[in-house]
Amino acid sequence: MDSTFCLVGEMHLNSYNYYYILGEEKRSLMLVAHKFNVSKQSVFKWSKAFNWKERTLRRDIEVAKRIEKKTNDTIVNTKANYREDIKKMLSINKSLINTAIKKGKLIIRIENVDDFKRAAEVQEKLTKVDLVLMGEASDRTEHKIEDIDLSKLSLQEKLKLKDLILKAQGNATTDTGSD
């Protein structure tokens, strides 16, 4: 293979890589031309001939996917580690409380009702953290709408209210006609 062709191909690749690593905010053909001591027109031709914009977009998407996967893996592993620790603490706390109740002895220094409440609160907090890490709600909350006369709402307001209720329930939204 012709060595000149290899050098030109290498220059195209190096110039594209430089263009890419400049980042979205600094990326410009002029900076590439200056770095590789070639005309802006040459760099413009290379960017068109080798689809730099499309390649950059695809590369950004690939990088974002890898980062997302790595982040998700890290989050899952961290949650698993937390849950393991919480399970151990729950088990120890539960065992201490149960032993204190069964034997009627002050094994965990439960000297009064307040000490027992504190031990129970630790158990409750650990359980809530465990539920949150599993993606569950840690508390049950009920929302009630009272004293609203729906007959006084306009059709548009009723449609918006319906849309909000559906969103809250996790269903698809309806068209409120407010385009």
Given this model, what pLDDT does residue 179 score?
41
Count the Cβ atoms, other than its own, within 10 Å of residue 19.
Answer: 24
Residue written as tokens 């990326």?
27
The region that residue 27 occupies, defined by phi over 0 for left and psi between -120 and 50 for alpha, beta otherwise, is: beta
Given this model, what pLDDT does residue 39 score?
94
- Tell how far CA 144 is from the center of its chain: 31
Q: Which helix (H) or strand (E) holds 114?
A: helix 113-133
**Residues in the chain with pLDDT < 70?**
1-8, 100-101, 103-110, 138-150, 170-179
Q: What digits encode the pLDDT tens for the residues 120-146?
A: 787 788 778 877 877 777 666 655 656
Q: CA 70 to CA 65: how far, in whole Å?
A: 9
Q: What digits encode the pLDDT tens for the residues 86-107?
A: 788 778 777 777 776 676 654 5
